[in-house]
Structure 1
Amino acid sequence: MRKYIGRITSGLLTGIFLSFAMTGTASAADPKPATETTKAANAAVLDQLPFDNMDDFEDAARGFIAPLPNNGVITGKDGTPIWDLSAYQFAKDKEAPATVNPSLWRQLQLMLQGGLFEVTPKIYQVRSADLSVITFIEGDEGITIVDPLISAETAKLSLDLYRQHRGNKPVVGVIYTHSHVDHFGGIRGVVDEADVKAGKVHIIAPEGFTEEAISENVFAGNAMSRRATYMYGNLLEKGPQAGLGTGLGLGTSSGEVTLIEPTDIIMKTGQTFELDGLTYQFLMAPGSEAPSEMHFYIKELKALCTAENATHTLHNLYTLRGAKVRNARAWAGYLQQTLEIWGGEAEVLFAPHHWPVWGKEDIVERLKKQRDIMKYLNDQTLRLANMGYNMEEAAEMIKIPDELATYWAARGYYGSVKHDIKAVWNFYLGYFDGNPSRLDALPPADAGPKFVEYMGGADAVIEKAKADFDEGNYRWVAQVLDKVVMAEPDNQDAKNLLADALEQMGYQAESGPWRNFYLSGAKELRDGIVEAAAPDTASPDVIKSMPLTMFLDFLAVHVNGDRAAGKQIFMNFAMTDTKESYGVALENGVLNYYTSTFDNANVSLSVARSDFNDVMLGQTTLKDQVDSGKASLEGDAAAFDEFRSTLDTFEFWWPIVTPKEAM
């Protein structure tokens, strides 16, 4: 998953130059029922897929030991729920309603049974206690934990549940399979950092882990995080006409996100690590589901973990919250390597999402099918691109062969065939499809009024769209009414009809994120921007681990080029405790830093990195640090104020389905 380093982008600069306040609004409009078109579309799915195959239900329940306590409600330090498995129980043992794609409903039902499970002797998992799955591997003296969830609270409860049934074994190791937050954020719930520093606990991660864990969502993080509120359904209630999870997991916990940096780095495929009587063999998989990722095999247990590269869903080659496009060809190649090295030897395949796969033949089939769905999307997209078809055309044309399309673990619960095809096209060819008419098209808010004018005005468009809605042409209704809303953002009739169309598209979606996006958009069109809980991962651990150079690069993103034009300001930044010093220059409208300081800087800042972290977290301001004597400014203080005046702040709750006001 990429998940995300979430709201770090807001918190980093709050203490320097902004006060971040959010206000809510509006009452919710009731969702509409499924139309006859939607009912028919969802009913057809029942005939297209092998719903009589119940193997996954047997596997998802296999090895069950104990449920999550308190009906799956986990609370934070202040008693506020940060995770609620019980909110999804409406789907248990019931047929899919007309407002849900039956395939997505089935996936939801498979994830409903949370608790402690035995995977195989010496390997145990706690599932459905967070978006991801935490694994406990028993060695000679203690346990090694794989991917400790998003939040310290959910990870701690999972460890407590394990120990309640397996004994109070010490934690001797932690493995981070990759650099997404749901695979490391709960680390302090299961490990004391003093034990790590004392050498009692090894933390093992792939090369590049710390940089990628922090950086992936820093530079565009505010935009990613806002879109993530749609992708993960943070704005939605849970129910048959609302949120149903993500397909990869039920949702994201909202507890304390933590990070302890690795002690042992895996650098190459074939590298081994002896830990607590077990031999771990590693395979590097960078640029697959995460920029830093790895598979591993436990020789003595014949147990294989392929991180997030072979779970019970077609995964994302592009995540809808926004991120760099992933490499389908490389992803398939890593699974091929895994097959060649451990295929036919592994007896259990487990992952940090969903339930395991048992048996050599089924494991080989899983690896082949996951390999081949990625390879098929890659190769067929390039075939059509080389024949002259553009990205949108390719996404409509490619059909998945039955041997993959009817394989449950290749269904698009988290990724989708269409947006993965577009990702492949974009990976190789970028955003432009070669048609010069589309090279410099007007932006939506400018094009909308012209479209509406050409179509005869908003009222005429709405009347025609109502007829198309009645005929079930929801994609067209959404496409054309988007123009009206961009032209007339206060036209509530247009927004309501667009919301109705998005809602029906959500009801039909097999992908959890697609459903969440459609229904979140409908909600915002009807109610306006209503603020809700959104994961906030700007935690002290993340800030502490962020290199100063990364922060300076991030600071540069905030420079308003228009306001900075014509200015030349040279500053020295010195961290008194870490002995880091950089020359920071604002010129030519951009901010750059140098590894040596300036002899004739306009202004010089000296502060301890530990105190500067408080500024980055928004817990204080730099001015307060100077006034209290914790920081010092030498030279022309007005020059620093002039620099600060060039910096923009980022609003979080910006509109997604209506136009944003021009600057």
Structure 2
Amino acid sequence: MKPIAAIAITLFVSSGLIAGEPKPATETTITANNKVKQTLPFNDKQDFKDAQRGFIAKQDVVTIKNANGDIVWDLEAYKKYITLETPAPDSVNPSLWRNAQLNMINGLFEVTDGIYQIRGYDLSNITFVKGDTGWIVFDPLISQETAKAALAFINSELGERPVVAVIYSHSHIDHFGGVRGIVDEKDVLAGKVDIIASYGFTEHAVSENVIAGNAMGRRAVYMYGALLPRNVQGGVNGGLGQTTSTGLATLIKPTDIIKKTGEERTIDGVKMVFQYTPGTEAPTEINTYFPDKKALWMAENSTNTMHNILTLRGAQVRDALKWSSYLQETIEMWGDEVEVKFQSHHWPMWGQSKIVDYFKKQRDMYKYTHDQTVRLMNQGFIGSEISEIIQFPDEIENNWSTRGYYGTLRHNSRAVYQRYMGWYSGNPSDLNNLPPTDAAVNYVAYMGGEQEIIKKAKADYEAGKYRWVAEVLKHVVFANPQSEQGKKLLADTYEQLGYQAESGPWRSVYLQGAYELRNGTPSAGGTNTASPDIIKNMPPEMLFDYLAVRILPDKAAGKSFAINLNFTDLDEKYTLYIENSVLNHTKKQADKPDVTLTLTKLALDDVQLGNVTLEQAIANGDIELDGDKDVFKDFVGMLDTFKFWFNIVTP
């Protein structure tokens, strides 16, 4: 979240416009949340001290708009009900409420001499390091509007300084998307601004938002609670920050690549040493140490929460074992001398011994999850069973920085299982099981019909058996999507599960599910997973892979043809082949293609972005076509389009 890992979400329903009325917390939920208050060390206030340490200034109103006047970030909506003094309401897990309170501590802060952070202007933090002549910026947020506002704020408080370098810690959009808000690409091309990232950054930054972008974007609406009202029965906290901004996500290619641990750079008088950590929280990521300041920037490899091994929006499973090993390497490299650690989410920590203890707990959180999941897996337990059995030792369980505000032990253990064993449980009944709707129809029939199930479900709901009620009523709704009784009771059930959730994404998923059961699947708005800069930075091979997943096999059946493409600005040539209802591409061009296209990558980008139609591009000469035009027309006609608002809680 990242995300996202975070994906920029376009809000299309203003706060409070949900038609189905939310219900209050039940006695079962109140009891469960009160138990949390008694279990965790709420008297420990050190995080609140750390989150406020170094405070310089804050703006009275943090509402940021785009050029059209649309709000893209609004901390004010949260300020109305989340304060440091307000106790956790019955409808919010007290631990999640505490995390929300900490994330609401916003403004400009000094981390250490010459290093500053602005927090509360997006899901992530933006960090400014003072060089001899200008700012070195780490992770410029999601949107160019929020990054621009942050730069203006720090300049107004500490004096006007240009941005001389930008460092992308990793390839998730909340760590690079705002770059055009603080940097002009002309200055980058002229060598006036350095942009530093790790090896493979551009490829991963672009690919995450393309191949599975539609499905991930839809599920991101659930993960980040895009439709939820801003109140105690709606959106409260996203785990890493309050939520995601909704402005324009941008990207400027790096000019300097870090390829290995130990590489050093001195930029504008500031010395930095990098730790290259591929395959941890992101496919490519770097931590940064400032030896002259004894300050360690941890990117998103360690934050003040348990992170995801597999995000709810969807992603490739991360490697918990590798993640823990890089944290061990961090300890070995700088543990003896570090005096302050800070990162792209949450607040810093000071004190060498405290920091090392923190790193050890972060390391062992992932190592324990990996080791114990694999141990139980080798005893024959499957993922759902392991998630019920596995428990952290007290040292990790009762530590605030390893609580599950973003990732959870239940889901991370399943992710480890998935990494090794895949989706199949090993039970023959799961080898060729029925899809959800077919299974639901038969479950309902076997269980005595819809009304009998609802009758029993109501009794179990009153008894507080929400997980079971959700499991049962899912079948009712999938067997009969018109069942108003079933949908209403299932919505009420999801709501209580959301109220009890310690994880921000869990809460959002449950409450978004309740919203859609009560109001139907939305039909407007959505996520922008392919901004102009993302499209611009897609290499042709990635575009062709994307086109390949859009092939409609019924329309491609029996077809066989070759299309040559000559990119004049890239001096690259390709051939696309349609055979066996599959699109393949190669740089070895066909000698006798059915049709040849001569064009620039820019012309293709314009078509992708909808700036011009394909017909217009051909008509105005931006795309030259030689050969059988009907072949290319046939090819375009076999490309599927993806509906963003597919159903999730209904069939």
Q: Which bin holds the TM-score, normalised by the shorter protein?
A: over 0.9
Q: 2:169 aligns with which of 174, 177, 185?
A: 177
Residue identity in the other structure for 1:564: A
In 1, Cα distance between equivalents of 2:265 and 2:337: 19
Match of 1:445 in 2: 437
Alignment of 1:229-628 (within 5 A): 229-531=221-523, 533-628=525-620
Residue identity in the other structure for 1:42: N
- Would the alpha carbon gap of residues 107 and 27 (structure 1) be closer, same or farther in structure 2, given more than 3 Å must change? closer
- Would the alpha carbon gap of residues 63 and 114 (structure 1) be closer, same or farther in structure 2, given more than 3 Å must change? same
In 1, Cα distance between equivalents of 2:531 and 2:219: 20
Residue 641 of structure 1 pairs with residue 630 of structure 2: no
Unaligned runs of 5+ in 2: none
8 Å contact from structure 2 (residues 7, 220) kept in 1:
no
In 1, Cα distance between equivalents of 2:303 and 2:510: 25
8 Å contact from structure 1 (residues 8, 218) kept in 2:
no
Q: 2:26 aligns with which of 35, 51, 60?
A: 35
Match of 1:82 in 2: 72
In 2, Cα distance between equivalents of 1:83 and 1:237: 14
Residue identity in the other structure for 1:387: Q
In 2, Cα distance between equivalents of 1:48 and 1:344: 33
8 Å contact from structure 1 (residues 5, 217) kept in 2:
no
For residue 412 of structure 1, report the CA deviation from its aligned partner.
0.3
Q: 1:58 aligns with which of 39, 49, 56?
A: 49
Structure 2 length as normaliser, TM-score? 0.97
8 Å contact from structure 1 (residues 576, 608) kept in 2:
yes
For residue 632 of structure 1, report the CA deviation from its aligned partner.
1.8
Match of 1:14 in 2: none
CA deviations 1:137-161 (Å, max 9, x no partner) are 0122222100000011100111111
8 Å contact from structure 1 (residues 350, 357) kept in 2:
yes
SS at match of 1:283: strand
CA deviations 1:247-295 (Å, max 9, x no partner) are 1011111111111100110001111112122221111111111001111
8 Å contact from structure 1 (residues 124, 135) kept in 2:
yes
RMSD across aligned C-alpha pairs, in angstroms?
1.7
Residue identity in the other structure for 2:52: A
Residue 190 of structure 1 pairs with residue 190 of structure 2: no
For residue 530 of structure 1, report the CA deviation from its aligned partner.
2.4
Match of 1:15 in 2: none
8 Å contact from structure 1 (residues 506, 518) kept in 2:
yes
Residue 46 of structure 1 pairs with residue 48 of structure 2: no
Structure 1 length as normaliser, TM-score? 0.95
For residue 198 of structure 1, report the CA deviation from its aligned partner.
1.6
Q: 1:72 aligns with which of 62, 71, 80?
A: 62
Residue 144 of structure 1 pairs with residue 156 of structure 2: no
For residue 600 of structure 1, report the CA deviation from its aligned partner.
1.3
Residue 2 of structure 1 pairs with residue 13 of structure 2: no
- Would the alpha carbon gap of residues 429 and 406 (structure 1) be closer, same or farther in structure 2, given more than 3 Å must change? same
8 Å contact from structure 1 (residues 5, 214) kept in 2:
no
Unaligned runs of 5+ in 1: 11-20
- Would the alpha carbon gap of residues 279 and 6 (structure 1) be closer, same or farther in structure 2, given more than 3 Å must change? closer
SS at match of 2:304: coil
SS at match of 1:131: coil
- Would the alpha carbon gap of residues 125 and 56 (structure 1) be closer, same or farther in structure 2, given more than 3 Å must change? same
In 2, Cα distance between equivalents of 1:385 and 1:227: 28
Residue identity in the other structure for 1:39: I
In 2, Cα distance between equivalents of 1:533 and 1:493: 28
SS at match of 1:91: coil
Q: How many residues align?
A: 645
Residue 218 of structure 1 pairs with residue 210 of structure 2: yes
8 Å contact from structure 1 (residues 234, 533) kept in 2:
no
For residue 653 of structure 1, report the CA deviation from its aligned partner.
0.7
Match of 2:643 in 1: 651
In 1, Cα distance between equivalents of 2:301 and 2:421: 24
CA deviations 1:186-219 (Å, max 9, x no partner) are 0011111121112121111011000000002311
CA deviations 1:597-625 (Å, max 9, x no partner) are 22211111122211111111122211111
For residue 495 of structure 1, report the CA deviation from its aligned partner.
0.7
In 1, Cα distance between equivalents of 2:525 and 2:212: 20
SS at match of 2:344: coil
For residue 366 of structure 1, report the CA deviation from its aligned partner.
1.2
Between 1:173-182 and 1:630-639, the stretch displaced more is 630-639
Residue identity in the other structure for 2:321: R
In 2, Cα distance between equivalents of 1:349 and 1:247: 19
Residue identity in the other structure for 2:40: L
8 Å contact from structure 2 (residues 18, 515) kept in 1:
no
8 Å contact from structure 1 (residues 302, 347) kept in 2:
yes
For residue 532 of structure 1, report the CA deviation from its aligned partner.
5.9
For residue 27 of structure 1, report the CA deviation from its aligned partner.
6.1
Seq. identity, %: 52
In 2, Cα distance between equivalents of 1:29 and 1:262: 47
In 2, Cα distance between equivalents of 1:542 and 1:642: 27
Q: 1:207 aligns with which of 183, 199, 203?
A: 199
8 Å contact from structure 2 (residues 323, 363) kept in 1:
yes
In 2, Cα distance between equivalents of 1:2 and 1:27: 26
CA deviations 1:68-115 (Å, max 9, x no partner) are 35x110111111110000111111020111110000000000011221
SS at match of 2:372: helix
8 Å contact from structure 1 (residues 6, 536) kept in 2:
no
Alignment of 1:84-99 (within 5 A): 84-89=74-79, 90-92=81-83, 93-99=85-91
8 Å contact from structure 2 (residues 55, 110) kept in 1:
yes
In 1, Cα distance between equivalents of 2:648 and 2:598: 41
Residue 112 of structure 1 pairs with residue 104 of structure 2: yes
SS at match of 2:253: coil
8 Å contact from structure 1 (residues 5, 218) kept in 2:
no
- Would the alpha carbon gap of residues 27 and 192 (structure 1) be closer, same or farther in structure 2, given more than 3 Å must change? closer
Residue identity in the other structure for 2:198: P
8 Å contact from structure 2 (residues 294, 338) kept in 1:
yes
In 1, Cα distance between equivalents of 2:143 and 2:577: 38
In 1, Cα distance between equivalents of 2:527 and 2:252: 19
For residue 531 of structure 1, report the CA deviation from its aligned partner.
4.4
Between 1:516-525 and 1:56-65, the stretch displaced more is 56-65
Between 1:501-510 and 1:596-605, the stretch displaced more is 596-605
In 2, Cα distance between equivalents of 1:7 and 1:617: 18
Alignment of 1:119-158 (within 5 A): 119-158=111-150
For residue 535 of structure 1, report the CA deviation from its aligned partner.
4.0
SS at match of 1:107: helix
In 2, Cα distance between equivalents of 1:446 and 1:83: 43
In 2, Cα distance between equivalents of 1:122 and 1:404: 33
8 Å contact from structure 1 (residues 133, 149) kept in 2:
yes
- Would the alpha carbon gap of residues 74 and 474 (structure 1) be closer, same or farther in structure 2, given more than 3 Å must change? same
For residue 647 of structure 1, report the CA deviation from its aligned partner.
1.4
SS at match of 2:161: coil
SS at match of 2:278: coil
